Amino acid sequence: MACLRIAFCLVLVTFYGAVAQAIVPDYPTSDWKAVGRVGRQWPGNPPKYNGTGVVIGDRWVLTARHLLNDTPTKRIPDNVVRFWLEGKGSLTPRRVYVPPDLSADLALLEFAPRTFSEWYPPYRESDEMGKLAAVVGYGYTFENRGGKWVQKPNSDGVRRAGFNRISMATDIQLRMDFDVAGAPDRYGDGGPVEKECMVAGHDSGGPSLIRGQDGKWRVAGIHSAVADGITSGGRFYDVRVSRYIGWLDSILGRSEPFAWYNTAPCPLFGSLRLAAPRTTWIPRR
Residues of this chain that bind Ca ion (CB under 5 A):
164, 177, 179
The nearest distance, CB 149 to Ca ion, in angstroms, is 15
Query: How many residues appear in the chain?
Result: 285
Closer to Ca ion at the Cβ: 177 or 203? 177
Closer to Ca ion at the Cβ: 104 or 198? 198
Q: Hey, CA dihedral for 266, 267, 269, 275, is it positive or negative?
A: positive
The nearest distance, CB 281 to Ca ion, in angstroms, is 48
The nearest distance, CB 227 to Ca ion, in angstroms, is 13
The nearest distance, CB 177 to Ca ion, in angstroms, is 4
Closer to Ca ion at the Cβ: 28 or 184? 184
Which own/partner pairs from 231-234 qualify as long-range (CB within 8 Å, at least 24 positions apart)?
231/4, 231/149, 231/178, 232/144, 232/147, 232/149, 232/178, 232/179, 232/180, 232/182, 232/183, 233/177, 233/178, 233/179, 233/180, 233/183, 233/184, 233/185, 233/186, 234/177, 234/178, 234/186, 234/198
Closer to Ca ion at the Cβ: 105 or 177? 177
Beta-carbon count within 10 A of 100 CB: 7
**Cα–Cα distance, 257 to 126 (Å, whole number):** 32
The nearest distance, CB 284 to Ca ion, in angstroms, is 44
Closer to Ca ion at the Cβ: 75 or 131? 131
